[in-house]
Amino acid sequence: MSCSQCQGIERVFDSKLARRELRSYRWFGPRRSTSILLQFLKPLAGQRSLLDIGGGVGVIQHELFAYDLREAIQVDGASAYIDLSRDESRRRGNEASTRYIHGDFVELAQQDSSLGGDVVSLDRVICCYPLMQELLGMAADRANLAVGLVFPRDGRLFRLLGRIGNFFVRFYDSDYRMYIHSTSDVERIMHDRGFSRVALRKTLAWQIHLYKRP
């Protein structure tokens, strides 16, 4: 990956953090916002395909295989997460049904027309990417049925918290930045591509959306 943000993702989301997240998932299950997203996606999983963008340790795919998901593709910018997600798939017996790709989804999708799925998930992903319109627009274009996403709530308080967080990240000499994208921009991108929002939930810091094609 060439962009500085992608290189920052590799440094911030390293093997130590990945192991911690996998351990937390095994002990306690999906975090709350992910659990809500899974509630939206489980009814759509049966004999369908999943494109999990920025899937981390693979929680979405691991959980949906229990609901008869047919196959999954995980694209992730952090190689440590890809490795642990693959290990967990092997442990669960789903490795043969999952394809793993390391890299920037926007760049990869421009080169590979097979990157798609009936359902596309972006769990806490668009907040890690500066070019949200390109990422979300391309993800929507590759979804046959639905797109589920989790991203930060917007508003002055959350934008301030994002700036504070980015200030401290700079001390680690990292190119990684967090982005608080406008909810209205997300909705516009999805509507322009023919999707309608069919579900919405919010936690203290996150909002969880499900969009479907007619």
Are the CB atoms for 63 and 39 separated by under 8 Å? no
Q: What is the pLDDT of residue 127?
A: 86
Are the CB atoms for 61 and 55 separated by under 8 Å? yes
Mean pLDDT in residue range 112-120: 95
What is the Cα–Cα distance from 166 to 97, expressed in whole angstroms? Answer: 37
H helical segments located in 29-148 = 32-41, 59-65, 79-92, 105-111, 132-141
**Predicted confidence band of residue 2 (pLDDT cuts 50, 70, 90):** very low
- Provide the residue count of the chain: 214
CA dihedral 12, 35, 152, 51 (to 10 degrees): 70
Whole-prediction pTM: 0.88
Domains of the chain: total: 1
Domain range for 156 is 4-212
pLDDT of 1 > 50? The answer is no
- Kindly report, residue by residue over 72-103, the tens digit of the pLDDT: 999 998 889 999 999 999 999 999 999 999 99
pLDDT of 165 > 80? The answer is no
Residue 198 has which token pair? 């069919």
Which is higher by pLDDT, 15 or 66?
66
Q: What is the pLDDT of residue 189?
A: 97
Q: What is the pLDDT of residue 214?
A: 92
Q: Which helix (H) or strand (E) holds 8?
A: helix 4-12
CATH number, position 195 = 3.40.50.150
pLDDT of 32 > 80? The answer is yes
Burial group, residue 167, by CB count within 10 angstroms (0-12, 13-18, 19+) = exposed
